[in-house]
Amino acid sequence: AQSVSQHNHHVILSEAASLELGCNYSYGGTVNLFWYVQYPGQHLQLLLKYFSGDPLVKGIKGFEAEFIKSKFSFNLRKPSVQWSDTAEYFCAVNPISGGYQKVTFGTGTKLQVIP
Amino acid sequence: DGGITQSPKYLFRKEGQNVTLSCEQNLNHDAMYWYRQDPGQGLRLIYYSQIVNDFQKGDIAEGYSVSREKKESFPLTVTSAQKNPTAFYLCASRPGAGNTIYFGEGSWLTVV
């Protein structure tokens, strides 16, 4: 069974600092990978996704993530965070095998950006 | 407008009662999901359905039941067998395998 690990549970950064949130998954086959964001009081929305091709994926609001297959990782990055990036971030993995639909999320990372 | 509608948004129930949370989508999506979100535990998959009249258990299905009689509807029943039912429940859907999942706004269930 697949699983997702997000090792940073709570991250506090000052504005303009760089961000990297870790995501590791366990599944031996081909996967689709996602990062979702949940702003305070709002519902979950997609930040970016990796399906195939270039392992460096760019998403909304200046976020990007790099898929490293050998490390089973899909870390989220942003060069310079803003106060408005304060939110909870979730990584998710979806095995691709014969229409397999199960999508597993990590435990989330709460990001607090201090002005 | 297209989207996923969950109701009710807030629900209070007494211990020992079953409760059903509604999830309707008008996006014509094949797959639908129920997740439970608890602080520090992220989103945990309860049940998912790939097509009408078919559904599979997720990682924490005990104490829950679902049905998928129509493509647009995927109700979740929280039974009295669920040991810790108080939580935030999220319904989601997507067109098919390999696509983005879209979420509803969630339902808060409090069991007292």
Residue A98: per-residue pLDDT: 56
Cα of B37 to nearest chain A Cα, Å: 9
State the average pLDDT for chain B. Answer: 93
Residue B94: per-residue pLDDT: 93
What residues of B are in contact with residue A34 (Cβ under 8 Å)?
100-101
What residues of B are in contact with residue A104 (Cβ under 8 Å)?
45, 59
Residue A43: per-residue pLDDT: 86
Residue B29: per-residue pLDDT: 94
A74/B15: higher pLDDT: A74
Residue A41: per-residue pLDDT: 86
Q: Coil, strand, or helix at residue A83?
A: helix
State the average pLDDT for chain A. Answer: 93
DSSP secondary structure string for all residues of B11-57: EEE-TT--EEEEEEE-S--SEEEEEEEETTTEEEEEEEESSTT--EE
**pLDDT surpasses 90 at B98:** no
Residue B96: per-residue pLDDT: 79
How far is residue A65 from each of residues A5, A77, A91, measured CA to CA in Å?
15, 6, 11
Residue B1: per-residue pLDDT: 59
Share above pLDDT 70 across residues of chain B, in percent, rounded to a whole number: 98
pLDDT digits (tens, 9 = 90+) for A66-95: 999 999 999 999 999 999 999 999 999 998
Query: Are the CB atoms for A110 and A88 separated by under 8 Å?
Result: yes
Cβ <8 Å between A90 and B41: no
How far is residue B31 from each of residues A49, A52, B5, B56, B57, measured CA to CA in Å?
18, 21, 15, 11, 14
What residues of B are in contact with residue A107 (Cβ under 8 Å)?
40-42
What residues of B are in contact with residue A46 (Cβ under 8 Å)?
100-101
Q: What is the DSSP letter of B73?
A: B
Give the H or E element holding residue A35. strand A31-38
Share above pLDDT 90 across residues of chain A, in percent, rounded to a whole number: 80
Residue A99 one-letter amino acid: G
Which residue in chain B is spatially nearest to A101 when comparing CA positions? B97
pLDDT digits (tens, 9 = 90+) for B35-66: 999 988 899 999 999 999 999 999 999 999 99
Cβ <8 Å between B33 and A103: yes
Share above pLDDT 70 across residues of chain A, in percent, rounded to a whole number: 97
A7/A98: higher pLDDT: A7
